[in-house]
Amino acid sequence: MEGEPTLRLRVFDLNCWAIRYLSKRRQERVRLIGDTLRQEGFDLVLLQEVWSEQDYSDLKVKLASCYPFSHYFRSGVIGSGLCVFSRFPILDTLLYQYSLNGYPYMLQHGDWFGGKSVGLDRCGVGVTAPLLSLSLQLHAEYCRDKDSYLPHRLVQAWELAQFIRHTSKAADVVLLGGDLNMHPEDVGIRLLCGWTGLQDAFVEATDIKGCKNGCTLVPNNCFTDKSELLPFPLGIRIDYILYKAISSFTVKCEELKTTMGPAPGTDIPFSDHEAVMATLHIQRQGQPVGATLGTADPALADVVTEARTEVGVGLRAAQRQRYSSGRMAVLALLLLLLQAVAALGTLAGLGADQPFPKLSFCLLAFLALGVLVLATGLHLFHTMEVKMLHGTEDQMWMALRALQERP
């Protein structure tokens, strides 16, 4: 075992906050990120929120010599924002879009337009069978006390966990880096790690450097929204590097590091998030290790139950919204029909003394039509939401049954 070759893998993960026209000093920061990546020479770089393909292309040109392999995942209206740069060949890719990702009408929270998804790369790293690396982002949390997106984020965490379980079987090592938008103690993180057996590099690391508690959203960073961080004076940890050895390999985290505000030699940080960097040791073991679940089953059953309860809350809210949008559509349709009858009556000369002036009549009809179209669209959307929440609830129930039946 001692004689087996070891792979030392240096991984970089960053939510780049590179939204065209909206993110402050974007181009400068993307240049800075590119320069640093070129200097540092990581093995694998997982980036999120690279919303502009031009930024990706610029990075690709700049990094071509040290990271010859790269992939940009396209999805949604403005893209997935996910890209990967690698020193090792990328053999294959797969994009999985979460079935729920916020609401299209919540324009101020643009998550829906981002087409949030998980991008999977199979990299040939030599020592192991293809390494599965995943770059991803989950739905943002806008208000922790009254988090109306929690059910969507839990559906995403569940789908992510299921996706990892189903795709990771042939890999020796799974590596996940991304902005999970969840605190370490949140039910979504516990669900993801428990149900897949992924380990948190921050928890496992022998040596930790950078922000206290591995925080990646810190008040020190000049781009963060200070008011959001008021309840958390040290910051919060929402960006993670998680890993798992599947077969006859072991993975150990030697060092975990975060950036701390301004990049060296400049006055600005890379992004509004801090970058997470991990140095992992991958070594072949004598005996194949079975795919293990992370926590003991009774605890895992509790986590799944907790997540299922939250999904249930979301399901009932979605059902209410589906009902009220449907009722609104029916009312608008009735109004339109009433107006059509009145108009036909006038045409037939029945009610020549029509009380409404023509203009108001037309305005009302257009208003009713507008409401009808919007309410129907909303009804369809919430119907889909109900279906997906219901489906996830079912799957979690099936998982609970499997956990209980396990000897």
Q: How far is CA 160 from the centre of its chain?
A: 9
Q: Pairing between strand 239-245 and 117-123?
A: unpaired
Cα–Cα distance measured from residue 158 to residue 177, given in angstroms and rounded to the nearest whole number: 16
Residue partners of 220: CB distance under 8 A and separation at least 6: 211, 235, 260, 261
Taking CB under 8 A as the criterion, the residue among 2, 3, 143, 166 binding a copy of itself is 166
Beta carbon of residue 109, minimum distance to a copy of itself (angstroms, whole number) = 16
User: Binders of a copy of itself among 358-377, rule CB under 8 A?
Assistant: 358-359, 362-363, 366, 369-370, 373
- Looking at the Cβ atoms of 220 and 248, the one nearer to a copy of itself is 248
The total number of residues shown for the chain amounts to 407
Q: Two tokens at 93?
A: 């890719």
Q: Which is nearer to a copy of itself, 234 or 384 (CB)?
A: 384
Kindly state the DSSP code that residue 356 receives in the 8-state scheme: S
344 binds a copy of itself (CB under 8 A): no
**To the nearest whole angstrom, how small is the minimum distance from the Cβ of residue 316 to a copy of itself?**
16
Return the SS3 of 279: strand
152 catalytic residue (yes or no): no
Contact 135, 96 (CB under 8 A): no
DSSP H helical ranges for 67-186: 111-114, 150-167
Q: Tell me the closest approach of the beta carbon of residue 150 to a copy of itself, in angstroms.
A: 20
Nearer to a copy of itself, 146 or 358 (CB): 358
DSSP string, 340-351: HHHHHHHHTTTT
Closest CB to a copy of itself among residues 234, 402:
402
Question: Considering 139, 273, 379, 382, which one is annotated as catalytic?
Answer: 273
**What residues does 92 pair with on adjacent strands?**
122
Cβ pair 251, 244 in contact under 8 A = yes
The span of 44-52, 68-76, 215-223, 224-232 binding a copy of itself (CB under 8 A) equals: 68-76
The reply to whether 76 sits near a copy of itself by the rule CB under 8 A is yes
Q: For residue 181, give both structure tokens.
A: 């938008």
Q: Out of 169, 209, 212, 327, which residue is the one contacting a copy of itself (CB under 8 A)? A: 169
210 near a copy of itself, judged by CB under 8 A: no
Q: Which stretch binds a copy of itself (CB under 8 A): 1-9, 93-101, 306-314, 332-340?
A: 93-101
Q: Of 183, 178, 154, nearest to 395 (Cα)?
A: 154
Looking at the annotation, which residues are catalytic?
Answer: 273
Residues that bind a copy of itself (CB under 8 A): 71, 73-79, 90-97, 99, 113, 115, 120, 122, 162-163, 165-167, 169-170, 358-359, 362-363, 366, 369-370, 373, 380, 383-384, 387-388, 390-391, 394-395, 398-399, 402
